[in-house]
Amino acid sequence: MFYIIGLGLADEKDVTVRGLEAIKKCSRVYLEAYTSILMVQKERLEAFYGKEVILADRDTVETQSDEILHKADIEDVCLLVVGDPFGATTHTDIILRARALKIPTRVIHNASIMNAVGASGLQLYNFGQTVSLVFFTETWKPDSFYDRIKENADLGLHTLVLLDIKVKEQSDENLARGRKIYEPPRYMSIPLAVSQLVEIESSRSTGILDAEKTLAIALSRVGGGDEHQRIVSGTLRELLDHPADAYGEPLHSLVIVGKRLHHLEVDYAQEFAINRDNWRAVAKDVYGCALD
């Protein structure tokens, strides 16, 4: 059997009982280590599982899946995924490869940012398409995400924005020269994400990301408990000007609040507001939310 097992969002104890039982009977245990990160090192996982954990980078998962699937038709092998297994298309691809090889597969689900974003107080039913925001460079500033945000905004829906991470990436020079030298890991911060959104709004000019009038909620290390989790709400301008260290450690996510905003969402998220009075004022005057 080939298992893909969701680990949840925080540490080694977030794995489900079903997932832990599967891990313990596997002959090889791989950890997908590039689409997201856990808040603990793999040594903590190994101690808890009683198994060696093999780190699988992008190349291993995407182009060398045969290594992972080797002998999975006659023994149990698993790939551990932070969050839920279907949080990235990469994992759908490796399941299809396993099925093509007639290897039995089983998926064991867990919490992910896609449902844990409800910790912000926003109702999951009111979310539209999720988008990803990548690091801009001087010569590459892709803006297709803006169209998805606008489509959501036109329907009054919230948008979950997943912020870029760079793990085991090569510089253009090292890539061109074929040198296996990797850059230090980088994780996009809330201020950088907001500045990129504002930059694209300045060129598109549709008004859906008005720095002074668009509400947003920043989240980091959701599910990590009070010592790790951070939630901050405000206008885009307030989030941009807020101290960077107030957002906590990565990974960070951002929600662009849609106009179909319920007063209970306003009440809940105001607990995280940089300026509660302004949060409620914008919700009432700009979003048309009926507040007492």
Q: How far apart (Å, rounded) are the C-alpha atoms in residues 23 and 4?
A: 10
Whether 215 has a binding-site annotation, put simply, is no
Query: Is there a binding annotation on residue 93?
Result: no
Whose CA is closest to 128, among 88, 156, 159, 150? 159
State the amino acid at position 108 in one-letter form: I
CB 26 within 8 A of CB 3: yes
Q: How far from 194 is each of 140, 153, 189, 216, CA to CA, in Å?
A: 17, 17, 9, 10
**Sign, Cα dihedral of 279, 281, 285, 290:** positive
Is 84 labelled as part of a ligand binding site?
A: yes
DSSP string, 16-50: -HHHHHHHHT-SEEEEE-SS---SS-HHHHHHHHT
| Residue 163 in marked binding region | yes
252 among the known binding-site residues?
yes
What is the bridge-based pairing of β-strands 131-133 and 54-56? unpaired
How distant, in Å, are the alpha carbons of 51, 77, 254 from that of 25?
9, 9, 38
> What would the two tokens of residue 156 be?
């009054």
Determine contact, residues 289/262, Cβ cutoff 8 Å. Answer: yes
Q: Is 181 labelled a binding residue? A: no
d(CA 100, CA 97) in angstroms, rounded, equals: 5
Burial class (CB in 10 A: 0-12, 13-18, 19+), 59: exposed
Residue 9 is labelled as binding a ligand: yes
Q: Is 258 annotated as a binding residue?
A: no
For residue 251, cis peptide bond before it (omega within 30 degrees of 0): yes
Residues placed in the known binding site for S-adenosyl-L-methionine? 9, 84, 87, 112-113, 163, 222, 252
Residues placed in the known binding site? 9, 84, 87, 112-113, 163, 222, 252
